[in-house]
Amino acid sequence: MGRTLGQETLETTSVALRSRDKHRVNSLDLCGTFYQEKVPRHSANKEKRNLIITIASAELGIKEATGNNDGPRVEQYLRYTNLGPGYDWCASFVSWVYAQAGFSAPRNPWSPALFPRARTYKDTDEIQQADLFGIYSSGLKRIHHVGLIRSKQDQYILTIEGNSNNRVESRRRHVKTVYSYADWIK
């Protein structure tokens, strides 16, 4: 009985002495040596980003019915942002994808609204999967198109975007053609 109790006590002690905070694991090994090691910040953020891209990827190939910002699925994207058929839907698509992944924001059909100052950045070294990119129109003097970043390859981003050639498609864009980026997951 003493031996069994001792083993249980050691196992319980080992488990009980492990504690996690944001970035460290503190542990007492079986020899009684206390150590700290840095834990990588893996995070639910990476899983959330993967989920967003998985959802968006499943929509690749969805097309407008008549080329007039309409069609059953396009109208679902638009309805999510309280619009009916006939409106540009790139921002509605992004908002809908985020909602399917469990996010309440962004939720806006107007592409410039997806780039609030607190979420935007210009440094291409910060680009992460599932961040947004915005294309600027000099004629409109504002961001006029938005999409999701699937990945970055050197000086290019691979995207998934709605209302691009009247459908959801993947494109390759040079980072110099992008006006701004936004991170809605941080």
**Residue ranges of domains in the chain, CATH in brackets:** 2-38 (no CATH), 44-182 (3.90.1720.10)
Structure tokens at 57: 């990827």
- What residues have CB less than 8 Å from 53, skipping those under 6 apart? 129, 130, 148, 150, 160
C-alpha–C-alpha distance, residues 60 and 67, integer Å? 16
Peptide bond into 72 cis (omega under 30): no
Beta bridge partners of 134: 146, 180
Cα–Cα–Cα angle for 60, 64, 65, nearest 5°? Answer: 130
C-alpha dihedral sign at 83, 58, 120, 99: positive
Tell me the CB-side half-sphere exposure of residue 108, using CA atoms within 13 A. Answer: 12
Helix (H) or strand (E) holding 167: strand 167-174
Query: pLDDT tens digits, the chain, 186 residues: what are they?
Result: 444 444 443 343 333 333 333 333 343 334 444 434 443 445 678 999 999 999 999 999 999 999 999 999 999 999 999 999 999 999 999 999 999 999 999 999 999 999 999 999 999 999 999 999 999 999 999 999 999 999 999 999 999 999 999 999 999 999 999 999 999 998
Q: Measuring CA to CA, how many Å separate 64 from each of 58, 68, 85, 137, 173?
A: 16, 7, 10, 23, 23
C-alpha–C-alpha distance, residues 19 and 7, integer Å? 21
Give the burial class of 176: count Cβ atoms within 10 A of its Cβ; 0-12 exposed, 13-18 middle, 19 or more buried.
Answer: exposed
The per-residue pLDDT for 186 is 81
